[in-house]
Structure 1
Amino acid sequence: MDLLTFSPEVAAALRDGAPVVALESTIITHGMPWPQNVETARAVEAKVRAHGAVPATIAVMGGRIHVGLTEAELDRLGQARDVAKLSRADLAACLATGGVGATTVAATMICARLAGIGVFATGGIGGVHRGAETSFDISADLPELAQTAVTVVAAGAKAILDLPKTLEYLETAGVPVIAYGQDAFPAFWSRDSGLRAPLRMDRADEIAAAARLRATLGLPGGQLVANPIPAEAEIAREVITPVIEAALAEAAAKGIAAKAVTPFLLQRIFEMTEGRSLAANIALVLNNARLGAAIAGAMARAA
């Protein structure tokens, strides 16, 4: 596709049938300050490489979808101002106007699919927000999982969301939710949300085979692989839940709504945990990069 610009490393990997893992770019532009954002992005890319795959960080720059960023492009994105946060609704408009945009889960899935990449590793997906029965606030990540055939590795959905409703939505939409190595559905910073995952798999090759068989069956959409945060990095549910509730109450009192809610909550949780939430976030992203590389390797071997 003419809109795609591949880094030399990613272009060579795709040409040779080597495993590739897509990575989002909002963690760089909207998740952390410079230079920690770029340092973390490089660490995630290094983790993918260390486990036998090629990382493809995706972003929009100059009217092009960049699939894989060079060192200079990553530095430039990490220091850019007024970067658009792109989802399905914003992607084409940013390309048309030549803007700079960072891809969310939904937009990264779209771009990965266009590039022929079947695995995407991220932190946590969006989902059904608390109070969605009146606000109708549901992340575009969920319908994207139902229609775009990419396997997404995440540490569950963000714990600030309504996790039971998120699982209900995914079930209705026919999205496989696969807990990796455990029966419980993880809750981002915590290994156990208190909810049972619909499916469990313990091996990367099983997950790769399930993706392949979905295509054989003609089923649309992708898979969500819920990979629990490493035990040594987690913030237990009983510790993080009161913090989340306090941040939610503060957001409601200040009238914060719509797209402003998630950034506000994550910042307040970071402050109330004295940075522990960010350290856990980095640990889980690295863990997801490792599993994403293993799944991509299994897909490449079966191709």
Structure 2
Amino acid sequence: MILTVSEEVREALAAGRPVVALESTIIAHGLPRPRNLRVATELEAAVRREGAVPATVAVLDGRPRVGLDEEQLARVAREDGVRKLGHRDLPLAVASGASGATTVSATALLAALAGVRVFATGGLGGVHREWTVTQDESADLGLLARTGITVVCAGVKSILDVPATLQRLETLGVAVAGYGTDRFPGFYLSDSGHPVDWRLDTPEQVAEVMRAQDALGGPGSALIVANPVPVEEQLDPGLHARVLDGALRACEEEGITGQAVTPFLLDHLVRHTDGASLAANLAAVRGNVRLAARVATAWAGREGA
């Protein structure tokens, strides 16, 4: 099989121990060097402190990998030319021997193929603003509709059309629950301004839903656990609104379209909030990683019961 699962992750899965998948796009494309490698190491360490095994996912020299060693993690962080890979790109990367960091969709797919059930990330992609004109929607949504994995995230990126994304997830049959909240988080913000229908308050409750998914045996789809960034660590909502409004105007004025829109808006937010948006992003990721490890531990305990 072309998918390579590290020995540590493989042994943990075989023994029924908790494992958490981590994406690598934040390492290669989301943070400046050398901070990116420090954060990658920090996130793996956070998983271990909670008693779980980290499984960072990437493609190196055409080989998809679930679980990286220190040298491989450093390659993702330091090498030039590391591509950004969605799940549609995987066959092309494999055939061409390319190296790439995996997005939410690619990470979820490869983790699920390896048998990893819990995945921690920052924010999901979703339906883009002006969707009725551009028809622009993240590949994350369709992939999660057919992949049985639990994704702990801070909602969807607030630069997107949040209500349209929630509606799309409902249409696709993807379960969404707020963690400790009745409100859907907005990535940089604790509250996007929109409610969720379901609330879970403990890792054990999340694990119970996962067991119910398996018991029902319906179409395999993801469970999204929307974990808000703490209020004290969120981006100031007023600042967020002002800067995002300016970013959207700049995007239109400069004729930015398609895949270039999201990185343009995110970069604009970082620059015009003096890095406060990046700090909120990292706070959300750290919280999601810790929660995912606790969910994976509860899941492993339930499986072994």
User: For residues 72-118 of structure 1, what are the alpha-carbon distances to aligned partners after superposition, in whole Å with 9 as ceiling and x for unaligned?
Assistant: 11111111112221112111110111100111001101001110000
| d(CA) in 2 for partners of 1:238, 1:146 | 34
Q: In the alignment, residue 47 of structure 2 is paired with which amino acid?
A: V
CA contact (8 A) 1:191 1:236 kept: no
Identify the residue that residue 196 of structure 1 maps to in structure 2: 195
Q: In the alignment, residue 180 of structure 2 is paired with which amino acid?
A: G
| d(CA) in 2 for partners of 1:252, 1:91 | 32
DSSP 3-state at the match of 1:157: coil
Identify the residue that residue 282 of structure 2 maps to in structure 1: 282
Superposition deviation, residue 21 in structure 1: 0.2
Aligned length, in residue pairs: 302
DSSP 3-state at the match of 1:147: coil
| d(CA) in 2 for partners of 1:238, 1:176 | 30
| d(CA) in 1 for partners of 2:13, 2:7 | 10
Identify the residue that residue 83 of structure 1 maps to in structure 2: 82
Identify the residue that residue 137 of structure 1 maps to in structure 2: 136
Identify the residue that residue 104 of structure 2 maps to in structure 1: 105
Identify the residue that residue 184 of structure 2 maps to in structure 1: 185
Identify the residue that residue 270 of structure 1 maps to in structure 2: 270
CA contact (8 A) 1:211 1:222 kept: no
1:211-290 pair list within 5 angstroms: 211-219=210-218, 220-290=220-290
User: For residues 97-148 of structure 1, what are the alpha-carbon distances to aligned partners after superposition, in whole Å with 9 as ceiling and x for unaligned?
Assistant: 1100111001101001110000000000000000011100000111111110
DSSP 3-state at the match of 2:84: strand
CA contact (8 A) 1:155 1:229 kept: yes
CA contact (8 A) 1:228 1:284 kept: yes
Say if 2:163 is the partner of 1:164: yes
DSSP 3-state at the match of 2:88: coil
DSSP 3-state at the match of 2:184: strand
Superposition deviation, residue 242 in structure 1: 1.6
CA contact (8 A) 2:239 2:273 kept: no
1:144-159 pair list within 5 angstroms: 144-159=143-158
Identify the residue that residue 299 of structure 1 maps to in structure 2: 299
| d(CA) in 2 for partners of 1:142, 1:196 | 19
Q: In the alignment, residue 212 of structure 1 is paired with which amino acid?
A: R
TM-score by length of 2: 0.97
Identify the residue that residue 57 of structure 2 maps to in structure 1: 58
| d(CA) in 2 for partners of 1:9, 1:263 | 34
| d(CA) in 2 for partners of 1:198, 1:96 | 43
Identify the residue that residue 24 of structure 2 maps to in structure 1: 25
CA contact (8 A) 1:189 1:234 kept: yes
| d(CA) in 1 for partners of 2:217, 2:259 | 34
| d(CA) in 1 for partners of 2:128, 2:262 | 9
Tell me, which stretches of 5 or more residues in structure 2 are unaligned? none
DSSP 3-state at the match of 2:36: helix
Q: In the alignment, residue 78 of structure 1 is paired with which amino acid?
A: A
- Post-superposition, which runs of at least 4 consecutive aligned residues in structure 1 deviate over 4 A? none
Q: In the alignment, residue 91 of structure 1 is paired with which amino acid?
A: L
